[in-house]
């Protein structure tokens, strides 16, 4: 099926319904699918996939029992029974090609104050070749590529000659439990492609991520006698400073890492949420800080967690109050390994060829300092895991947007990849 | 009426119903009269006072129009129409003595996490001579003294020979607007006594207080590219540090103050509430910190406010991001002067004599680093303003409590003071 007429036929098929794809992406963006609120979008997606004739398996994290799995991460304040996953299966009647998982997460991070957006974050405004909105780029764009790449092959008169699973998952931004649940549910394939917005580059390696909550107490007193109490907000900053220093040391050591040695400060530490106290004239009795820290693929998750706990303990010992009232470190989300896609796989070679055919330039690679779901497939289940997708900016910020021309190209590339990897049979 | 039999008669009358007074104080404590939630307690108080035969004036802050008054402080997030004040008047039919205002605030500060209390904060548990609860000491104890001192005089067969106003007010802990509203409503007297829990000492002077909210913005980005964004939590800390330094300078200068020169660090700065960010893996886009700072009676409120603004601006200029995205300083509460009760008033001499008669030792005085409502009466309306009351601890903290034996003594002292200041006539 690699004849010279195929790519033009695929391209034509993508172009023919590109307006529909953009409208589909707008529909996706209009769902405010923040953590714990993804179910309505997943229900809609299940119906959309069923309408296309896929066999749809809709299940929740509660159905697969993540709790007992070594790589299941703790979920705090989110009900696993409400965290819906969707797997839409194309089952080849007489498979001759290589099977494939296409996976995208549909959870989005909070949009923050709406007044800091140029366009409302869930309005899915299209302007000057860009589609704006929370999740437009990270990664509902890629999800639309998955769906419309498959649509294009069909419109061109073909079906993949192997099983293809289109998976939309949750929890990518907080634990990774959505991806894990599809593997625990039993889905496997000879490759997986996750179209995160990589700007048409292949993700050679990603760092791991830990989430933790610092819980600091204080001795509340009337501010008039502040010297008799302690201030939990100031104590929290003492610990944050210690973690900034801990991170600096990790980054010094990272300079000799084989994958991240050339990346400046690849370990990122972020205090992302803070809440403390309830009265301006009382010294605050408590402060909680939700933090994120990275780790290199060469580092062990348990050791990285122990390092955070050691840093917090050492800082607490240097403070009179905290020494006797030790802060808690609560592990409330990501306990994610990093991952390296070892060069040389057939899957990578096939994607590189598909990219070259569409873009006319070789596929480049990136080393990212954020986590993604490929680790589950590649590191624990030995499935070649490609992270490659469309282009945009503003992920996790304001005015997030995805480029429509890049969306189109990515859809063509993905359809071309499916054709080459799975093979095609006439419908 | 200063004959030798009077004090024993008053004491006997206080003792006779002291169990009822404790039960009354328990009733007061059981109302969770946090800011904005005082109305049910004030309604109950109005009925209690009417039942005793007082003429009751119940009004709200909206009724008196604080907005136009120079000393009205901004209220953010609290409806003035829901902030109820109660004035219960004893009007002497043929006044021969000196008139008096007895004033107590019934707003309480938040109790914080209930699990950090030995007894539930609104259970009003009595144990080993103490009554526990939020507001038990600050200052519902004093309010019960006001009511039962008057009850004791009546039970002893007397009425004050002058007008006496029993006022229960709100907003003492946040703006002072409750006290101001009674003056704008028109209530005046020849002295005011506010039975804050001073441990039987006279408040010679109190510091002023400012409340402000720091509003800091940030540039949110995915933590993977944290270097491209800014972290509003860390920016807020930068400003807090600058205000700690500003406070240190103010305290250096305070060493020569005529009233506070001997008090170590009389200016207290407190970051009391903090909220920022919404996702551990996004650099936070905003952070808000509610702060309190003191000022000496010799300092001008406007100048103190300008000093805070200058310190914040200077700190912002030293930060690349903040220099171009200046933080806001929102004045959202107290803009309170300090106050000095000039020695030598007849009211003070009368209270000192009443104290000596009950305690057998001279009344001592204190210089407090917290604000109270006396400033309104003494500084703007020339009414001698005495702040003197019962004894306890844990104000604004956990396990707040008031001493019952001290409550009893304070009630006797207050009844004795009323008798001497207003004079008595047989009922």
pLDDT digits (tens, 9 = 90+) for A45-55: 999 999 999 99
d(C-alpha B231, C-alpha B52), whole Å: 59
Tell me whether residues B284 and A278 touch, CB distance under 8 A: no
- Contact residues on chain A for B398, CB-CB shorter than 8 A: 220, 285
Q: How much is the pLDDT for B2?
A: 53
Please identify among residues 145-174 of chain A the ones whose CB lies closer than 8 Å to any CB of chain B. 173-174
> Pairing mode, if any, of strands A158-160 and A424-426?
antiparallel
> Could you tell me which chain B residue has the CA closest to the CA of A281?
B292
Among A128-142, A160-174, B182-196, B321-335, where is mean pLDDT lowest?
B321-335
Kindly indicate the confidence band of residue A1, based on its pLDDT and cuts at 50, 70 and 90.
very low
B330 touches chain A (CB under 8 A): no
- Contact residues on chain A for B174, CB-CB shorter than 8 A: 281
Q: Which of A116, A222, A286 sits opposite B113 (nearest CB)?
A: A286
d(C-alpha B165, C-alpha B176), whole Å: 18
Q: Which of A112, A270, A281 sits opposite B272 (nearest CB)?
A: A281
- Contact residues on chain A for B110, CB-CB shorter than 8 A: 278-279, 282
Q: How much is the pLDDT for B1?
A: 46
B326 touches chain A (CB under 8 A): no
Burial of B311 (0-12, 13-18, 19+ CB in 10 A): buried
B114 touches chain A (CB under 8 A): no
CATH code at B5-206+338-426: 3.40.630.10
> Could you tell me which chain A residue has the CA closest to the CA of B291?
A280
A180, A343 Cβ separation under 8 angstroms: no
- Nearest chain B Cα distance for residue A77, angstroms: 14
d(C-alpha B263, C-alpha B266), whole Å: 6
> Pairing mode, if any, of strands B208-217 and B401-403?
unpaired
- Contact residues on chain B for A333, CB-CB shorter than 8 A: 280
d(C-alpha A231, C-alpha A222), whole Å: 11
Interface test with A, best of B78, B105, B220, B227 (most A CBs within 10 A): B220
> Is A2 a residue whose pLDDT tops 70?
no
Tell me whether residues A222 and B368 touch, CB distance under 8 A: no
B188 touches chain A (CB under 8 A): no
- Contact residues on chain A for B270, CB-CB shorter than 8 A: 223, 226, 231, 280-283
> Could you tell me which chain B residue has the CA closest to the CA of A232?
B272
B227 vs A83, more confident: A83
Tell me whether residues A280 and B265 touch, CB distance under 8 A: no
Q: Which of B220, B222, B273 sits opposite A276 (nearest CB)?
A: B273
Tell me whether residues B280 and A286 touch, CB distance under 8 A: no
B137 touches chain A (CB under 8 A): no
Summarize the confidence of residues A312-321 as an average pLDDT. 92
- Contact residues on chain B for A286, CB-CB shorter than 8 A: 112-113
Q: How many CB pairs lie under 8 A apart between chains A and B?
A: 203
d(C-alpha B277, C-alpha A272), whole Å: 6
Q: Where are the domains of chain B?
A: 5-206+338-426, 208-336
List pLDDT tens digits, range A363-374: 999 999 999 999
* Letter string b/e over residues A240-261, b meaning 16 or more CB atoms within 10 A of that residue's CB: bebbeebbeebbeebeebebbe
- Contact residues on chain B for A270, CB-CB shorter than 8 A: 223, 226, 231, 280-283
Please give the angle made by the CA atoms of A19, A22 and A25, to the nearest 5 degrees.
Answer: 155
Sign of CA dihedral A363, A365, A371, A377: positive
> Is A150 a residue whose pLDDT tops 90?
yes
- Contact residues on chain B for A287, CB-CB shorter than 8 A: 274
Tell me whether residues A271 and B233 touch, CB distance under 8 A: yes
B398 touches chain A (CB under 8 A): yes
SS3 A38: coil
Q: How much is the pLDDT for A375?
A: 97
pLDDT by position in tens, chain B (length 427): 457 899 999 999 999 999 999 999 999 999 999 999 999 999 999 999 999 999 999 999 999 988 778 899 999 999 999 999 999 999 999 999 999 999 999 999 999 988 889 999 999 999 999 999 999 999 999 999 999 999 999 999 999 999 999 999 999 999 999 999 999 999 999 999 999 999 999 999 999 999 999 999 988 888 888 888 889 999 999 999 999 999 999 999 999 999 999 999 999 999 999 999 999 999 999 999 999 999 999 999 999 999 999 999 999 998 888 988 899 999 999 999 999 999 999 999 999 999 999 999 999 999 999 999 999 999 999 999 999 999 999 999 999 999 999 999 999 999 999 999 999 999 9
Fold of A208-336: Alpha-Beta Plaits (3.30.70)
d(C-alpha A391, C-alpha A259), whole Å: 24
Tell me whether residues B272 and A225 touch, CB distance under 8 A: no
* Letter string b/e over residues B183-222, b meaning 16 or more CB atoms within 10 A of that residue's CB: bbeebebbbbbbbbbbbbbbbbbbbbbbbbbbbbbbbbbb
Q: Which of A173, A217, A274 sits opposite B275 (nearest CB)?
A: A274
Tokens for B237, please give them: 């800390």
> Could you tell me which chain B residue has the CA closest to the CA of A291?
B280
- Contact residues on chain A for B271, CB-CB shorter than 8 A: 231, 233-234, 277, 284
Percent of chain A clearing pLDDT 90 (strictly above): 91
- Nearest chain A Cα distance for residue B247, angstroms: 13
Instruction: State phi, psi for B120 to the nearest 5 degrees.
Output: -55, 140
Closest by CA to B222, choosing from B169, B270, B284, is B284
- Nearest chain B Cα distance for residue A302, angstroms: 20
Q: Which of A174, A272, A285 sits opposite B112 (nearest CB)?
A: A285
- Contact residues on chain A for B207, CB-CB shorter than 8 A: 224
Integer CA distances (angstroms), B130 to B19, B116, B124, B399, B402, in order:
13, 18, 10, 10, 6
d(C-alpha B19, C-alpha B404), whole Å: 10
- Nearest chain B Cα distance for residue A336, angstroms: 13
Tell me whether residues B211 and A369 touch, CB distance under 8 A: no
A66 vs B20, more confident: B20
- Nearest chain B Cα distance for residue A263, angstroms: 12
d(C-alpha B254, C-alpha B263), whole Å: 9
B202, B100 Cβ separation under 8 angstroms: no
A60, A81 Cβ separation under 8 angstroms: yes
Tell me whether residues A273 and B278 touch, CB distance under 8 A: yes
B349 touches chain A (CB under 8 A): no
């Amino acid at each position: 099926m690699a004849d010279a007429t195929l790519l033009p036929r695929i391209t034509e098929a993508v172009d023919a319904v590109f307006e529909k794809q953009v409208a589909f992406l707008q529909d996706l963006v209009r769902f405010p699918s923040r953590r714990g609120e993804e179910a309505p979008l997943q229900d809609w997606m299940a119906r959309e996939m069923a309408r296309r004739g896929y066999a749809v398996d809709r299940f929740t994290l509660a159905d697969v029992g993540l709790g007992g799995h070594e790589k299941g991460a703790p979920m705090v304040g989110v009900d696993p029974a409400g965290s819906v996953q969707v797997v839409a299966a194309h089952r080849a009647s007489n498979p001759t090609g290589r099977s494939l998982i296409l996976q995208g997460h549909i959870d989005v991070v909070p949009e923050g104050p709406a007044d800091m957006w140029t366009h409302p974050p869930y309005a899915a405004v299209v302007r000057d070749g860009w589609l704006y909105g929370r999740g437009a780029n990270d990664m509902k764009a890629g999800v639309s590529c998955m769906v419309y790449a498959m649509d294009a092959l069909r419109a061109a008169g073909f079906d993949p000659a192997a099983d293809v699973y289109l998976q939309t998952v949750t929890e990518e931004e907080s634990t990774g439990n959505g991806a894990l649940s599809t593997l625990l549910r039993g889905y496997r394939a000879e490759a997986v492609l996750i179209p995160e917005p990589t700007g048409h580059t292949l993700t050679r390696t990603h760092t791991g991520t830990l989430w933790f909550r610092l819980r600091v107490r204080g001795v509340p007193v009337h501010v008039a006698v502040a010297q008799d109490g302690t201030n939990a907000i100031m104590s929290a900053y003492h610990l944050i400073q210690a973690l900034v220093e801990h991170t600096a040391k990790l980054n010094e050591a990272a300079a000799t890492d084989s994958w991240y040695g050339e990346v400046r400060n690849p370990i990122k530490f972020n205090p992302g949420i803070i809440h403390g106290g309830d009265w301006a004239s009382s010294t605050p009795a408590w402060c909680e800080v939700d933090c994120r820290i990275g780790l290199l693929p060469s580092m062990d998750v348990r050791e990285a967690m122990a390092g955070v706990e050691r840093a917090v303990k050492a800082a607490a010992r240097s403070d009179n109050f905290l020494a006797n009232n030790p802060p808690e470190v609560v592990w409330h989300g990501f306990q994610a390994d990093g991952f390296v896609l070892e060069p040389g796989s057939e899957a990578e070679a096939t994607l590189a060829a598909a990219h070259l055919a569409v873009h006319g330039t070789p596929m480049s690679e990136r080393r990212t300092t954020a986590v993604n779901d490929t680790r589950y497939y590649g590191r624990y289940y030995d499935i070649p895991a490609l992270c490659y997708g469309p282009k945009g900016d503003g992920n996790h910020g304001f005015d997030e947007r995805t480029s429509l021309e890049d969306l189109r190209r990515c859809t063509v590339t993905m359809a071309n990849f499916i054709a080459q990897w799975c093979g095609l049979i006439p419908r």
